[in-house]
Amino acid sequence: MKLKPKKHLGFLVGIITVSLLTTIFLLPDSNQSQIFLESANNQFKVSFDITDSDHANLLKLFNNLNIPKSTEQGFSFELDSTSSAKLAYISPIKSKLSFAPRSISFNGNLSHEPFLSTFTSPTLNIPKNTNLAIFAPNLIDFVNAHYSYPLPITDWLKENVTQSSNQILIFYGESPNYALFIQNEQNDLSSLKNLKFDQALDIIYKEETQQDIIYHFFNIPSENDENPKNLSVFNFNNWLVLASSQETALFITDVQKSRSDSIIFPNDKNLKNINFMLYYNNPRDYQTSKNLLNMLLPNSDLTDTAQNSIAQALEKIENAILILKGNEFSGLIKVK
């Protein structure tokens, strides 16, 4: 099995890909197994050390998902050159797995620390229907690359945002909607109204004040009129916030002020000096949209078997969390 996520998805997709593939090949009623990731010849190989008690269940799962039996011997995948270099740097990766009736917990070590700096995690109120939340430095590069905002906007962000600051990126809803929170960035946003765009782009800028917050809205038409690349930028307390639309910006502000229908992320105040945290939430009331999956793992770059397997794995997961501290990681996956 070979995976080739698009270049703009970068190292983030590498981490998510490995996490999701891990859930595909292991059952929640196992006792103790291990998974290994190694790099060689511009590829990454995943291998398993499955206990005897798990083996029959593993083969049964392969059969249910129409995965060849030979997969138990391991599989390989590829990333773009930049992401490959980053993932190869922290390889090999070894993880021990423990299983409960409806959950999988894991912990292990990376060969190197992927981030040079550590951060004391802030807490933030995020919408209750958030499907994916990520805490890490430099998430703004992911947003810039994926949404391909016009050059004046990306240049402004590069000049005004500290890449190593605490950043939290959330996705929710069908679109999906996104909001990026950047800590300790109280910038003068008035210069946004002076950005110069190619007239052919027909970009509309609007500044609006509501409840003492100044919102800077950009309406950015795209070739597909159904999916415009809108953007809202505003300051809230000690956060600079980027949101995918005017409606998203107002909703996020309401969540912060009223704290209704919200959850705290990260939800453990004892978490200190973490480098990375990923929270995946897929309850029956607001399941993860296919659009979010397509954004993280583009269908055009997946084999049919891999695409179907990942989709089925996501449907089985109710929520999951992954935490990285230095070169140590741990996590928990709960299945429906």
CA 52-59-25 angle, to 5 degrees, is: 90
CA distances from 232 to 20, 236, 263, 333 (A): 31, 12, 23, 33
Instruction: Supply the pLDDT for residue 177.
Output: 92
**CB-based burial label for 86 (10 Å; 0-12, 13-18, 19+):** middle
User: Which tens digit of pLDDT belongs to each residue from 218-234?
Assistant: 998 876 555 567 999 99
Question: What is the C-alpha to C-alpha distance for residues 84 and 42, in angstroms, rounded to an integer?
Answer: 7
User: How much is the pTM?
Assistant: 0.78
**24, 309 Cβ separation under 8 angstroms:** yes
HEC string of 257-298?
Answer: HHCCCEEEECCCCCCCCECEEEEEECCHHHCCCHHHHHHHCC
Beta-bridge partners for 287: none
User: Which tens digit of pLDDT belongs to each residue from 288-334?
Assistant: 777 776 666 654 445 566 666 666 667 777 888 888 887 788 888 77
Instruction: Categorize the per-residue pLDDT at 156 as very low, low, confident or very high, splitting at 50, 70 and 90.
Output: very high
Residue 280, pLDDT above cutoff 60: yes
> Averaged over 116-138, what is the pLDDT?
80
Residue 251, pLDDT above cutoff 60: yes
User: Which tens digit of pLDDT belongs to each residue from 71-119?
Assistant: 778 777 776 666 677 677 777 777 776 656 666 677 887 776 766 566 6
Instruction: Supply the pLDDT for residue 49.
Output: 82
Tokens encoding 194: 């002076």
Q: Which residue has the higher pLDDT, 241 or 109?
A: 241
Q: Where are the alpha helices (DSSP H) in the chain?
A: 10-24, 52-64, 81-89, 140-147, 151-160, 246-258, 290-296, 304-316
